[in-house]
Amino acid sequence: MPFNIRYYLTYFYYSFFRSKGTPGRLSVKRIFLLLFLFFVYPIWNIYIRLGYYLDNWFFSEFKQEQYPAPVFIIGNYRSGSTFLHRLLLRDQQFTCLKAWEIYFSPALTQRWFLRLLNRISRRIGNPLGKFIDAFDRSLNDIYAMHKTGMFTYEQDSQVFYHSWSSYNLFAVFPFPELAQKYIYYDQKVPETRRRKEFTYYRGVLTRQMFLHKGKQYISKNPDFSPAVETIKEFFPNAKFINLVRPPEQMIPSLINLWANNWRAYGSPEETYPLVDTLQEQAKHWYQYPHERLSNLPMDRYLVVDFEKLVANPKGEIERIYKQFGFEFSDEYHKIMEEETIKARNFTSGNSYSLSEMGLNREELKQEYKPVLEGYKKSPR
């Protein structure tokens, strides 16, 4: 398992000595968080490494497993990727990592041990289950964008926390110059680092497929949008679903998402910080993946319109299944009918003041119009 100690020390250096005027400025809350991470992260990292070491002794047969050929759901944040991901995972033919597997048991040995611990807990009144329920409730109070918890399917790029090399660290360490290389992953992360990271990632997925033989792996990671060339190299048979949401809807929601993250992990002075950086990220993640994937065969790349997905989930899921050659079961057909009815009756409670973000709806449409023209030239 790789670990980038230089990045690790750099992030803490920025936090203590270059955070003035950023959403990560030092405050009492921020200092406690940094001290916790600085002392607890190494212990957690050793625990993760120990699990992989024990796998070589107790589950070495997983190495004979063929490399998976996942379906990657990409696109900008706040474009419906979580919604689509969890819809697909209602179908039993698919699999993905859950939060507890990402954070506490990426290794097979750890999963065996935690399942044993859970069985013991259930026989003595389930104290472990009660603790997890309480933890999930507190987590959802902090992170209200969508329901989460230890047993929900999550963004598996978070396994790169193990190596301390991830765009996700931007939520805790809001320093644009450190996040820049992940915005342009294929171009700015050195090849040796990319190879180490995705060799590791492929190993994590291979373990999952060892436990779920015959299933199709579904990965949902907006931050993989700038990494599609690297993904194609490591997963030559991968399929891609690129979600596209109108910028006048996506950009404000994106800015609100990151503002919530930075308030959760710090005390920013601005209500909506780093708007320019987030717009730069959004523009590249609109443009780059489609440029690199549009020449793939039809059964490997599909663009999904966010508005069509939320208006008619069943219709869009059927289109995905048909184009990618997946079997649509009668049971899943009923589930999709129910989800489509829910979608038609759903009303979002989110509302954002674009003026407070320094944005204008019509200006956003015009600014991103040239970027989205590429989708019209090669429709999928």
CATH of the domain at 366: 3.40.50.300
What share of the chain has pLDDT > 90, as a percent?
78
Q: Among all chains, which residue has been given the structure tokens 């995905």?
A: 320
Contacts of 97-101 spanning 24+ positions with Cβ under 8 A: 97/153, 97/154, 97/156, 97/159, 97/204, 97/208, 98/150, 98/151, 98/152, 98/153, 98/154, 99/148, 99/149, 99/150, 99/151, 99/152, 99/154, 100/150, 100/151, 101/208
What share of the chain has pLDDT > 70, as a percent?
95
Alpha-carbon span 364 to 86, nearest angstrom: 29
Domain span at residue 11?
Answer: 5-377
380 pLDDT band, cuts 50/70/90, is low
* pLDDT, tens digit (0-9, with 9 covering 90-100), for 177-205: 999 999 999 999 999 999 999 999 999 99
Taking 60 as the threshold, does the pLDDT of residue 15 lie above it?
yes
pLDDT at position 346 is: 64
pTM of the full predicted structure? 0.93
Mean pLDDT of 328-353: 81
pLDDT at position 143 is: 59
Buried b (16+ CB within 10 A) or exposed e, 233-259: ebbeebbbbbbbbbbbbbbbbbbbbbb
Alpha-carbon span 333 to 50, nearest angstrom: 43
Taking 70 as the threshold, does the pLDDT of residue 96 lie above it?
yes
Mean pLDDT of 366-377: 86
Tell me the average pLDDT of the chain: 91
* Half-sphere exposure in the Cβ direction for 270 (13 Å, CA): 17
H or E, element range at 180:
helix 176-183
300 pLDDT band, cuts 50/70/90, is very high
376 pLDDT band, cuts 50/70/90, is confident
Alpha-carbon span 273 to 132, nearest angstrom: 33
* pLDDT, tens digit (0-9, with 9 covering 90-100), for 149-182: 788 899 999 999 999 999 999 999 999 999 999 9
Alpha-carbon span 170 to 179, nearest angstrom: 6
Mean pLDDT of 4-27: 94
Alpha-carbon span 242 to 372, nearest angstrom: 13
Residue closest to 238 by CA, chosen among 319, 167, 296, 156: 296
Alpha-carbon span 30 to 177, nearest angstrom: 20
pLDDT at position 142 is: 58
pLDDT at position 173 is: 96
Taking 90 as the threshold, does the pLDDT of residue 305 lie above it?
yes
Taking 60 as the threshold, does the pLDDT of residue 144 lie above it?
no
pLDDT at position 134 is: 81
* Domains in the chain, number: 1
DSSP for 205-233, written as a single string = HHHHHHHSTTPEEEEE-GGGGGGHHHHHH
* pLDDT, tens digit (0-9, with 9 covering 90-100), for 217-262: 999 999 999 999 999 999 999 999 999 999 999 999 999 999 999 9
Taking a C-beta distance cutoff of 8 angstroms, is the pair 29, 266 a contact? yes
> How many angstroms from the chain centroid is the CA of residue 323?
24
9 pLDDT band, cuts 50/70/90, is very high
Task: Tell me which amino acid residue 106 is.
Answer: P
Furthest C-alpha separation in the chain: 62
